[in-house]
C-alpha cells in the first residue's frame, strides 16, 4: 500500500494553482459534483515517496514527471541525465516543474492533458 490514500468515492487531484489547465480541470470536476481532495503542489510539495508512487501509478519513470520545457526548469537546469533520487529532489524543491494535474480515484491514476480527461477517471 502506498503513501497516497485513494478512494473510489473521491478524486485526489495533485495540481499547481498557477496552471490554467489545472484550474480548468478543477472547475470541470467540481461542476460534475464530484468530491475532490485538492493538493496544490505549490503549497504542499509532494514527498519523495509520493513522487515515486505517482510515477509508478502512471507507469512512468520519475524523470518523466518533470516538464523539462517549463521555464522554471530551463532557467535553473540544463538537459542532463540524473538519478531518480536527484529528479525527486528537483521536484521537491521546484514543484512547479512537475507535470500536472494528476488525478487519482481508487486504482486509477491519470495525467491530465486536457480538462475533459477528468471524465476518464
Please list the ranges in the chain whose pLDDT falls under 50.
1
Cell numbers at 112, concatenated: 491530465
Question: What's the pTM?
Answer: 0.93
What pLDDT, in 10s, does the model give residues 74-90? 888 877 789 999 999 99
Omega into 87 within 30° of 0, i.e. cis?
no
What are the structural domain ranges in the chain? 11-120
pLDDT at 120: 87
Fold (topology level) of 11-120: Glutaredoxin (3.40.30)
Residue 110 CB neighbour total at 10 angstroms: 16
Amino acid at each position: 500500500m502506498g503513501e497516497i490514500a485513494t478512494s473510489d468515492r473521491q478524486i485526489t487531484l495533485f495540481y499547481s494553482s498557477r496552471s490554467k489547465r489545472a484550474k480548468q480541470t478543477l472547475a470541470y470536476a467540481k461542476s460534475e459534483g464530484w468530491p475532490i481532495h485538492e493538493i496544490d503542489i505549490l503549497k504542499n510539495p509532494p514527498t519523495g515517496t509520493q513522487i515515486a508512487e505517482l510515477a509508478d501509478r502512471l507507469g512512468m519513470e520519475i524523470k518523466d514527471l518533470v516538464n523539462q520545457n517549463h521555464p522554471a526548469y530551463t532557467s535553473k537546469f540544463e538537459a542532463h541525465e540524473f538519478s531518480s533520487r536527484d529528479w525527486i529532489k528537483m521536484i521537491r524543491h521546484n514543484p512547479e516543474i512537475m507535470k500536472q494535474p494528476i488525478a487519482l480515484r481508487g486504482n486509477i491514476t491519470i495525467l491530465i492533458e486536457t480538462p475533459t480527461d477528468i471524465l476518464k477517471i
